[in-house]
Structure 1
Amino acid sequence: MLPADARLTVPVLAPTGGAGRSTLAFLLATELAAAGDTVVLDTTPRLASPWPAWTTGPAGGGLSALAPAEPASREAVRSACAVMGGPAGEWGLLTDGRDWSAPPLDLPSDPAAWYQLAALGGWQAVVADTTHPVTHDLLTARCAGLPGQTRTWLSLPYAVPVLCAAASAEGVQALQQAVMVMSAENLPLHRVVAVLVATGDGRLPPVVRAAATMLSGRTAEVVHLPYDTTLRANGLRSGRVHGRTRQAAARIAAAVLSAAHESWGAPLPPAPQPAVLRPVSPAFPA
């Protein structure tokens, strides 16, 4: 169990689109709910995100209920969450669940803004479903002399990233390239959990197995997420997944917790808290 004052940050990253980030974030949150109070932050614009369609509990106010120009309270952030259920318990989801015709929200790209939101909500485990391609982001940031989103996510307090890719020749090539660039940028690969997401039944191709062997020596752990026909047929809203999918998700969650404990100790130290807003004193009368 995570201590009450701890906050584990788990950004789910990928070098390309279509790598199964959202599905993995869903499964990971379902497992981490057994370790502590858990939330998923949906950083994807509404009409490109699958999360609103997966909402099964009260929708809350969603991200649109949190005005960016106004101070928010813990109660406001909590009430904006949709409530999701799973075998390990309920967990929260912060997404934009409005109708498709509503004006788009101006979502922040800075990971620190999302972390501040999670800190305000007081969750112990924070799973962030990211949208940016890792390798492109690192290269662009290097050329511009900026930190970039990937580096910022990894530099957040107690962050254990999950880097996923399709279990195919093209997928592992993109994953290997991302790991190579992350190594060149001196990012903490020792606490990166790599996940190979199967795209079909059967054994992994030889090139994928070879890549998994190579990556196991450079990352905290490499986990294979098997193809799930039940999940493909019914979607995540039904909550029905194959037993082996649940076992793989539990192994990923265990790898994340193990990497966190090896990096910072067990139990995790207390997390930073957002600064308290103090009332502004009225001007003295003339």
Structure 2
Amino acid sequence: MAATGGSGRSGLACLLAGELAAAADTVVLDLGVRLASPWPAWTQTTPAGEAGQAGRAGPGAGGLAALPSDRPHTRDAIRSAAVRRGAFDVLTDGREWNAPPLALPSEPAAWYQLAAAGGWRIVVADTAHPVGYDVLAARCAGLPGATRGWCELPYSVPVLCAAATAHGVQVLQQAVMAMTAEGMPLRRTVVVLVGLDGGRAPAVVRAAAAMLADRAYDVLELPHDADVRAHGLRGPGRPRPRTRQAAARIAEAVLEAAHSAWGEPLPDAPVPAPAPAFEPTPQTAPIPTAK
């Protein structure tokens, strides 16, 4: 999650999924709007001349468009809709940019049910809502809000991203204050400060990290990676060694936070109740009326 755009949220989600895939079957849920999400491009086959293969091309997977939210689906159907990217799967909207927008559910529980029906053991949800605004708006409206919904899913570990800049930590601190006021689980939240250049973090960023260390489970840094900044994350194995090392440390902190909260090994997560078999209603001819 992040308080604002440009926080490195999707890039971290990609790196985190790659690390967590070594522990269990992993899927990334892309909740972003298609024209603003990098995942459709990241899950296409790598163009000729670039190293690695990002996964099977769009026609090989139906994506979220193949999973209408108003009907149940089999595990095979859900699995076939996902795109394989390296060691993990991705559920995203990989259609052409000018396709009509999808009507996707906003409730986190619906996405949890989809992932459970697909049989994945680890879910990395790349959310798109601004955390601080969502918490405040939900409080004013007397509603739970998306942030609380994601945090209350079974064995969820919030990962809060922010750019390692003065503005980035300012909006991060505002989001943390809003989450604290609403009793959000900051004690099992991992905060990640994403570097936007190769220099040392500004003093204000270091001060914010020290302040947040007493509230969150851990505060870590994801260093700037010039290759990722220049080429994106289309091919696996592109990040530099220090980037992969930082991603491994973040994944380790996420697992540690989960084990600290619920024990090791984690108990079995609740399985959503299966829906009854879907049988389309046959079309019947209209009853003739006398005139």
On whether the aligned pair clears a TM of 0.5, the verdict is: yes
Looking at structure 2, the residues matched to 279 and 191 of structure 1 have their Cα atoms a distance apart, in angstroms, of 38
Q: How far apart are residue 279 of structure 1 and its match?
A: 4.9
Larger radius of gyration: 2
Partner residue in 1 for 2:245: 247
Equivalents in 2 of 1:279, 1:137: separation in Å?
36
Please state whether the residue corresponding to 1:153 is helix, strand or coil: helix
Which residue identity does 2:34 align to in structure 1?
R
Q: Give 3-state SS (helix, strand or coil) of 2:221's partner.
A: strand
Q: Which residue of 2 aligns with 1:218?
A: 215
Deviation at 1:20, TM superposition (A): 0.8
Q: Structure 1 residue aligned with 2:40, among 52, 64, 86? A: 52
- Provide the C-alpha distance between the structure 2 equivalents of 1:176 and 1:276, rounded to a whole number of angstroms: 41
State the one-letter code of the partner of 2:135. Answer: L
Equivalent position SS for 1:64 = helix
CA shift for structure 1 position 238: 2.4
Give the aligned partner of residue 107 of structure 2: 110
Counterpart AA for 2:9: R
What is the rounded CA distance, in whole Å, between the counterparts of 1:108 and 1:67 in structure 2? 10
CA contact (8 A) 1:225 1:249 kept: yes
Give the structure 2 partner of residue 159 of structure 1.
156
Deviation at 1:251, TM superposition (A): 0.6
Task: Quickly say closer, same or farther: Cα 1:67–1:258, change in 2 above 3 A.
Answer: same
**How far apart are the structure 2 equivalents of 1:61 and 1:78?**
10
1:273 aligned partner: 271
Query: Per the alignment, do residues 29 and 167 of structure 1 end up closer, same or farther by CA in structure 2, a change over 3 Å counting?
Result: same
Give the 4+ runs in structure 1 shifted more than 4 A. none
Report what 1:42 is aligned to: 30
Structure number with higher strand proportion: 1
Counterpart CA distance in 1 for 2:149 and 2:69 is 21
Q: CA RMSD in A?
A: 1.3
Matched, 1:197 2:194: yes
Equivalence for 1:26:
14
Counterpart Cα distance in 1 of 2:232 and 2:184: 34
* Identity fraction in percent: 64
Contact 1:45–1:107 (8 Å) recurs in 2: no
1:175 aligns to 2:172 (yes or no): yes
CA offsets, 1:255-284, max 9 Å, x none?
A: 000000000000000011121234599xxx
Q: Deviation per CA, 1:4-60: give whole Å up to 9, x if none.
A: xxxxxxxxx001111111001000001000110000000112111110100121241
**Structure 2: where are the runs of 5+ without partners?**
44-53, 280-291
2:123 alignment partner, SS class: strand
* Count of aligned residue pairs for this structure pair: 265
SS of the residue aligned with 1:236? coil
> 1:45·1:105 contact (CA, 8 Å) conserved in 2?
no
Distance in 2 of aligned mates of 1:22 and 1:244: 18
Instruction: Give 5+ residue unaligned stretches, structure 1.
Output: 1-12, 282-286
- Please state if 1:238 is matched with 2:235: yes
Q: Equivalents in 2 of 1:149, 1:228: separation in Å?
A: 31
Equivalent position of 1:208 in the other structure: 205
CA deviations on 1:196-251 (whole Å, 9 max, x unpaired) are 00010111111111111111111000010000011112210022001110011001
Q: TM-score, normalization: structure 2? A: 0.89
Equivalents in 1 of 2:200, 2:11: separation in Å?
Answer: 21
Larger RCO (CA within 8 A; separation ≥ 6): 1
Contact preservation (8 Å) 1:28, 1:253:
yes
- Structure 1 segment 259-270 matched on structure 2, within 5 A: 259-270=257-268
- Aligned in 2, Cα 1:100/1:279: closer, same or farther, shift over 3 Å? closer
Match for 1:194: what amino acid? V
Asked if 1:70 is matched to 2:67, the reply is no
